[in-house]
């Protein structure tokens, strides 16, 4: 189900421990932004689909409603087959499906991945995870942190990000067959499946809608990936 498994729990006096399964290849961040080697395109696409399935399970298949609240490459671990495992539920929230808890708004995701509604101190829902997932998709495609827009001399990062989203939407409409190549990590040397790249960029723009009601559910996203696989 693309979640890190808990093998054991220890609670003795002041000591509280969780024992997790060992995930061999470390975090996605170590590959995208560190020195763990180059992820090929098929691996990146596999990770995108797997994380979507993991979040869909948390949002739609659990008895209660689980919001991770901190989806980012550091919290996505890769096993020996590069199957992704969502980890670090330290700020996750468990809610009944008919429950609204105003205290949830006091949690904060990581800057660069946090949805805009965090800033308004309102009760959040699972769409904050959807937004963060969209950021991760962009980083899988480009191989760069979206948050680096804040420090590259381009001015207001939010405005630059919105311009990037607008450009992708326009390219989706009018860009032709290989428009997505300009957004792809140059280290891949063009060795990608352009239909998959286009789909990931399209889903990213949907996930990163400023108005959360316009964002898809994670089930919607999984269905889009499955539709492409069937074609």
Active site positions, annotated:
70
DSSP codes joined into one string, 131-186: HHHHHHHHHHHHSS-GGGGGTTT-S-HHHHHHHHHHHHHHHHHHS-SSGGGGGS-G
Sequence-distant (6+) residues with CB within 8 A of 19 are: 6, 7, 8, 9, 10
**Burial of residue 176 (number of CB atoms within 10 Å: 0-12, 13-18, 19+):** exposed
Output the CA angle 127-97-122, nearest 5 degrees.
45
CA-to-CA distance for 40 and 187, rounded, in angstroms? 9
Phi-psi group of 103: left, alpha or beta (phi > 0 → left; psi -120 to 50 → alpha; rest → beta): alpha
Residue pair 95/101 in contact (Cβ under 8 Å)? The answer is yes
Return the half-sphere exposure (C-beta side, CA atoms, 13 A cut-off) of residue 74.
Answer: 9
């Amino acid at each position: 189900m693309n979640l890190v498994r808990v093998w054991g729990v220890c609670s003795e006096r002041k000591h509280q421990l969780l024992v997790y399964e060992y995930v061999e290849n470390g975090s996605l961040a170590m590959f995208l932004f560190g020195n763990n080697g180059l992820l090929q395109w098929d691996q990146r696409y596999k990770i995108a689909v797997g994380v979507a399935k993991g979040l869909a399970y948390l949002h739609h298949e659990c008895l209660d409603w689980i919001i991770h609240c901190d989806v980012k490459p550091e919290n996505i671990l890769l096993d020996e087959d590069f199957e992704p495992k969502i980890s670090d539920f330290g700020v996750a929230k468990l809610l009944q499906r008919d429950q609204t808890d105003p205290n949830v708004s006091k949690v904060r995701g990581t800057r660069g991945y946090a949805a805009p509604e965090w800033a308004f101190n309102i009760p959040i829902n699972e769409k904050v995870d959807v937004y963060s997932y969209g950021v991760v998709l962009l980083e899988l495609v480009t191989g760069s942190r979206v948050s680096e827009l804040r420090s590259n001399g381009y001015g207001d990062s939010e405005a630059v990000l919105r311009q990037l989203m607008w450009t992708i939407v326009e390219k989706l409409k009018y860009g032709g067959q290989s428009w997505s190549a300009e957004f792809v990590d140059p280290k891949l040397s063009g060795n990608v499946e352009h239909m998959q790249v286009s789909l990931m960029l399209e889903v990213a723009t949907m996930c990163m809608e400023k108005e959360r009601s316009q964002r898809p559910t994670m089930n919607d996203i999984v269905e889009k990936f499955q539709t492409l696989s069937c074609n």
